[in-house]
Amino acid sequence: MKVLVVLGNRMNDDGTLSDAMLERLNKALVVADDFDKIIVTGGVANSIAGRAEGDMMSKWLVENGVPMGKILVENRSHTTKENAKFTAPIIKGIGAEEVTILSSAYHIDRKVYNPVRLFKKYTKLPQIETIRA
């Protein structure tokens, strides 16, 4: 099973999706057919907005044509480390054999709290692919 994990980004104060999140979601639409499942991940990182990133990303993907049954939501995380920690059981639970992380280039390429290293640590998968939005 091939799984795409779309990492969240802090919501705007008015509850709308940030530009970075929209870039990630638009890229997810382009590649969605290449994956069996899409996991969107992110909790309420902006308390003013009061909405979980994962929930809002799922809603946006469904509104833009991705079948609800293809999407899994992790909506508790507040950090990249928690994205990996809370998403790993979902990945394992569905028997994912291939995982690809989709995020902004600056996020994937950073040295500290690198998403690829964190997902490898928590999923124990030897290979994690990436897509940069």
Among residues 23, 30, 31, 82, the alpha carbon closest in space to that of 52 is found at 82
* pLDDT at position 85: 97
Tokens of 113: 């709290």
What CA–CA distances, in Å, run from 65 to 29, 45, 69?
Answer: 8, 26, 12
Indicate which CATH number applies to the domain containing 87: 3.40.50.620
105-118 mean pLDDT: 91
Please check the confidence at residue 112 and state whether its pLDDT lies above 90: no
SS3 60: helix
pLDDT, averaged across the chain: 96
Q: Confirm if 123 and 92 have CB atoms less than 8 A apart.
A: yes
Q: pLDDT-based confidence at 114, cuts 50/70/90?
A: very high
* pLDDT at position 113: 87
Phi, psi of 21 (to 5 degrees): -65, -40
Q: Confirm if 7 and 53 have CB atoms less than 8 A apart.
A: no
Predicted confidence (pLDDT) per residue in 4-50, tens digit: 999 999 999 999 999 999 999 999 999 999 999 999 999 999 999 99
Q: How far apart are CA 21 and CA 46, in angstroms?
A: 14
Domain count, the chain: 1
Which residues constitute the domain of residue 14? 2-132
Crossing angle (nearest 10°) for helices 80-93 and 115-123: 40
SS3 131: strand
